Amino acid sequence: MWEGRAIGARREIAALASAGLGVAELHRAAIDVVERVVPTELTCWASLDPDTAVISSMTSGPTSIPVQYEPLLAGYEYGGAEPHTFAELARRPEPVALLSDVPHRDVAHSGRLNEVWRPLGLGHELRAVFRVDGTCWGAAGMVRRGDFTDRETEFVASVAPAIAGATRVAVRCGNYRSGGEPAIVVVGRDGAQRAATSAARSWREELDEIAPGRFAVMLRAVVVGARSSGSGTFRARVRDASGGWILFQASRLISEDDDETVVTVERASGSELLGLLLAAYGLTPREREVCHEVIAGRSTSDIAARLVISAHTVQDHLKSVFGKVDVRSRGELVARLRPEEHR
């Protein structure tokens, strides 16, 4: 019975993937499919930046998390001390994890459990990441009063790859906007904002309209990323309200007196989104290389010489790329991968 339900759910999700839905619409519909089998009191799904596993967008189930808890919950995601963060799960081979499986000493210090779920009368959490071809495109947090059964856990694990594939398709849909003055924000060692340009207020208002505290959460996420990175830099892309993309980039500055991080916020350009789209279309590493050469305007013979392959092999790669991206010419390919240049 459970396997039959999983097969049916995967078929429904596959149908959603071909409906041309954006990520938020897809996740809302897929939540309904999963909730029929694994009911919850609260559920929230996220799309993840495939390069960084930072949350790009969030979609709630029929019952939303009370707004006063949203900044707190999102902040715990990047604090570095919580069990089963989405970034942690993205690195694990298994796609599903239960909070009840975490050692008691770790659960006892979980801010997510003690400061969010328990005050809401909830005590059991199932988390899943949506991974396909080795890349995580999304994740889900599912919470309720009673524990999750082994069958329910198996069901979520079974449908997770289908959700990942559908999310990857939905990422291709978007409104690639321009405009908005770039902003600079300086964050101190204590995480407090030290300085900001005037444009930061507009970005804060835009993101906080999507979810309260969203701007501050993203600042925290990229600052933590920069401070833990060997290069001292970190970048993440987040969806705006219309389905476009905003780019956060953090760079760590170290002086004798302080440790500050500078964060820039701006509308993501086509070049910043190119890698995302190439991954979303499921192109192989070599096919991506060919696409970069095509976008640069190089001929088949030039591409063959630069990649040290034959012209025939270049054409074979292009044929495969055209099929995956659903285009018929190089011009259509460039227009699909660099949409802001062809509006």
Residue pLDDT, tens place only, 81-109: 889 999 999 999 999 999 999 888 888 88
| pLDDT greater than 70 at residue 177 | no
Share of the chain above pLDDT 90, in %: 62
Domain boundary among 269, 301, 325: 269
* Higher per-residue pLDDT: 70 or 145: 145
Angle at 101 between CA 131 and CA 133, to 5 degrees: 10
Residue 252 within a domain: yes
Other beta carbons less than 10 A from residue 44's beta carbon: 22
In this prediction, residue 340 carries a pLDDT of: 59
**Two structure tokens written together for 296:** 């640069």
Same-domain status, 156 and 297? no
pLDDT in tens, 29-57: 999 999 999 999 999 999 999 988 889 98
* Higher per-residue pLDDT: 242 or 255: 242
In angstroms and rounded to an integer, the radius of gyration of the C-alpha atoms of the chain is 21
Same-domain status, 204 and 292? no
| pLDDT greater than 60 at residue 342 | no
> Mean pLDDT, the chain, as a whole number?
90
Q: Are 217 and 238 in contact (CB under 8 A)?
A: no
Same-domain status, 196 and 81? no
Domain span at residue 325 reads 283-341
Same-domain status, 20 and 100? yes
Q: How many residues does the chain have?
A: 343
Residue 68 within a domain: yes
What strands, in cross-sheet order, belong to the sheet with 193-196? 193-196, 183-187, 259-267, 245-254, 233-239
Phi, psi of 42 (to 5 degrees): -140, 140
Q: How many domains does the chain have?
A: 3
Same-domain status, 254 and 207? yes
Residue 79 within a domain: yes
In this prediction, residue 78 carries a pLDDT of: 81
- Cα–Cα distance, 115 to 45 (Å, whole number): 20
Residue 336 within a domain: yes
Residue 290 within a domain: yes
